[in-house]
Structure 1
Amino acid sequence: MDTTGRVGAQGALGAPSTSDDVEAGRAPQEEVAGVRRGLEGYLLADFPWYGLDEAFTGPRWLMQVGAAADGTVEHGSTGHGDEPTVRVESEHDQQRFAVVVTVASRPVRRSADGTGVLEATSVSSAAWLAGSGLLSCTWPAQMERVLRDDWLEQQTAIAWELADDLDGPSWTTLTLPVDGVPTPFHYRESEYGWVLAGSAIEGRGDSRSSGAGACTGVHIGAYGRGMSAYGLGFSVVKDISEYGN
């Protein structure tokens, strides 16, 4: 995966949840440093946000954005359908949702403190965020806490390995429209739901800044359950304020 390694990537792209997060019903990255909730963080991004296209007519809602140490927004998610929860495990099968993850396509750049180098983001970055996002919605809430910790560590490692091997046998190719253009995605299903990851067509990303580390487009990830991925389409969100919590 094109990141600075597992620890570095989690620091830049968001950390997994803890047992306390899950017991409180929170998703990963909700209350950790470098993460903003609410409209403000989305408006600070130097790249366009993606969501489901106009064919989806259900509820839309904001989740959170992830930012680097210097405050630069790096990624974020938009939700569609039922807001997923881990409070009641028996409700998992009744939830219908799709979450779209937008990741800024960044070149190799200096870290905020100037002491290191961050490698370029990639489709694997979007796959990792989508995989860990789905994991946050499938926590076995009735499992004893220590076992849940082990479960999370194991599943997080699997999600990382899968994101780092997009050409492996665990993934298939699914073509879906992005701004009306057929676009290939890496796609996989599991007992928890589905995950996909790809990139917007080169040159379509709305780069609003220049210089080292400037956004050169976006990578798109998505995850969901209860809604088939095969009928989805993605498009630029024209007005992010239309997504309400």
Structure 2
Amino acid sequence: MNYIENTQENSIIIENKKISFDIENQKVFITSFDIAEVFEKQHKHILRDIQALPDDDFRKSNFGLSNEVRKHGLFEKNSKYYKITKDGFCLLAMGFTGEKAYKWKILFIEAFNKIEQNLRSKMFELASLKKDYEYQMQKDSTKLNVIEQKINTLINHIQKQKNFQEKIQELQEERLDLKDQIINLQSEIIAKGTKIKIDHSKNTLTPSEEKMILSFLKEGKSVEEISKIMNKARTIIKKLSRYTNYSHLSYIKELKELKN
């Protein structure tokens, strides 16, 4: 007589009865309904034998009380049952005797072992995948940190170059301003030494000259270009250039302050 045949991965056939093994919290178990059916016992007697066991940690770990709705004749009833692990089954089945019971116990234990082995393999595979994933994430994170450091270094380098160019421009403008001041100072010294009246027309502007300079500035001409065209000092043209973007009223007010 054939007592077992493989069907799905987590089930066996015993005496034409399909017994399904469930997995919960990494534990494999069958139900007290399955045991009663295979070993040809009344379910209430299986419940009685389980409840007669000491109420200790072993029983709590290997016999999980549960319930489900089952059909009894024409009616449905909420029935109590136990989820039983391999250790729980071995303890409970000790009292089952006879040749058939012996063979069925072996089939149950072999099925438990096979399913538990499959479960361990899957858990190992999952752990390995998790480890590979964490390693790859760490590797990618390290690469990302290196890239970010390179980007920050490049940004700092560009900023330093920009600041350096701006500083050079400032120094060049200061140099030209200083040159104008030296020229003016030399003119004053000469005037005092020779008592000759110096023409300060280069440092003063008439309203028409102011208007013309502002027009040149709006056209985009540089201070140096306007200085040559108008024959005026760069200093006064540079001061006037601040007002090209102001409104008309603001310009008049600032211009008066400049003259004063």
TM-score, normalized by length of structure 1? Answer: 0.21
Report 1 or 2 for greater relative contact order, CA contacts < 8 Å, sequence distance ≥ 6: 1
Larger Rg: 2
TM-score, normalized by length of structure 2? Answer: 0.20
Answer 1 or 2: which has greater strand percent: 1
Answer 1 or 2: which has greater helix percent: 2
